[in-house]
Amino acid sequence: MPAVDVLYRQAMRLTNNPDDAQDLVQDTFERGFKAFDRFQPGSNFEAWMTTIERNAYFNQYHKAKRRPQRANDSTGEYNDWDIYSASEHGSEGLKSAEQEYMETFAPEEIMAALDRLSPERRRVFIDAAIDGKSYQQVADEEGIKIGTVMSRLNRARSQLRQELERYAKERGYQHEHEAVDKPSAERHRPVEAGPSIKK
């Protein structure tokens, strides 16, 4: 199956460990099977699956609170971002701002940015934006109101964008990533800026 080879190659790039790569591929297929009713016929299946795999990797890393072996409250109006949505991740579909970041920046850059979020914002971002949980489910698990979930998610998105922009600028390739932020500005209503980021 061609998709297996594609997923394994990506898993090796992410984990740099054969055993971890195999586990990640298996987890990806389990997630894909559970979400297959959301796959849009005619869209790119491999792209859909590699998206699931990337998000599973980032989710596992932060949920396990360990770095892989690789050396390397204002509210806003947002719909739940479903990481398995074929309309979002098909080869021709529009992509969310989060997915643009996942595809544009290296894994270690994403990890560094996520690590700078507060634990509360990071948990909400991973659960809602990466793991695809509904606002209500996140609210129930965190013991908070839906409005608080939305607030933390909005602020996490804003801070993550700032962190990645700063990271890109420091390394001299800001011009390559400026376009990444445009979809977010065009699709989402501006939200109140969160507190300044600690340097």
DSSP 144: S
Identify the residue whose tokens are 């479903």.
82
Q: Report the amino acid identity of residue 40.
A: Q
| Torsion angle in degrees (nearest 10) through CA of 184, 191, 165, 117 | -120
Mean pLDDT for 165-193 is: 52
- Secondary structure of residue 105 in the 3-state scheme: coil
The confidence band for 100, taking pLDDT boundaries of 50, 70 and 90, is: low
- 2-72+76-187 CATH: 1.10.10.10
What confidence tens digit (pLDDT) does each residue in 113-153 have? 888 889 898 888 888 877 778 888 888 989 988 888 889 88
CA-nearest of 116, 36, 33, 20 to 68 is 20
DSSP 65: T
Q: List, in sequence order, every beta strand (DSSP E) within the chain.
A: none
User: What are phi and psi for residue 147, nearest 5 degrees?
Assistant: -60, -35
pLDDT exceeds 60 at position 77: no
68 and 17 in contact (C-beta within 8 Å)?
yes
